[in-house]
Amino acid sequence: MTYVVTENCIKCKFMDCVEVCPVDCFYVGENFLVINPDECIDCGVCEPECPAEAILPDSDDRASAWLERNRDLSKTWPNITRKGTPPADANEWKDKPGKEALLSMEPGTP
């Protein structure tokens, strides 16, 4: 089992999650983060840290569509271990539905 980042993270990117991961398995894109499912040790520590409730176990039905996307993007995006500055409008995007089309495939800056 693993945890994955899902749609709620898009354009929020609060980054509270990266600080607590014991194996540093978060990777950063322009407006989204992903978990490398092959590195995640399934500890669950990051899940309650996310203000957007974007992190879910892969056993959750809402996570299944995001598992391979987390795996694929974690191979090309840079690793992130320290919280950066969230987008200025992050709170405006929190809890907004229908953000999937806004996901950028571009790598971010750790």
| Binding stretches for ligand SF4 (CB under 6 A) | 3, 5, 9, 12-17, 20-21, 23, 25, 33, 35, 40-46, 50, 52, 54-55
**Closer residue to ligand SF4 in complex, CB, 76/81:** 81
- Output the smallest distance, CB 68 to ligand SF4, in A: 16
How is the chain classified by DSSP, letter by letter? --EEE-GGGTTT---HHHHH-TT--EEEBSS-EEE-TTT-----SSGGG-TT--EEETTSTTTGGGHHHHHHHHTTSPB--S--PPPTTHHHHTT-S--GGG---SB---
**Closer residue to ligand SF4 in complex, CB, 20/103:** 20
**Closer residue to ligand SF4 in complex, CB, 21/73:** 21
- Output the smallest distance, CB 61 to ligand SF4, in A: 18
**Closer residue to ligand SF4 in complex, CB, 5/101:** 5
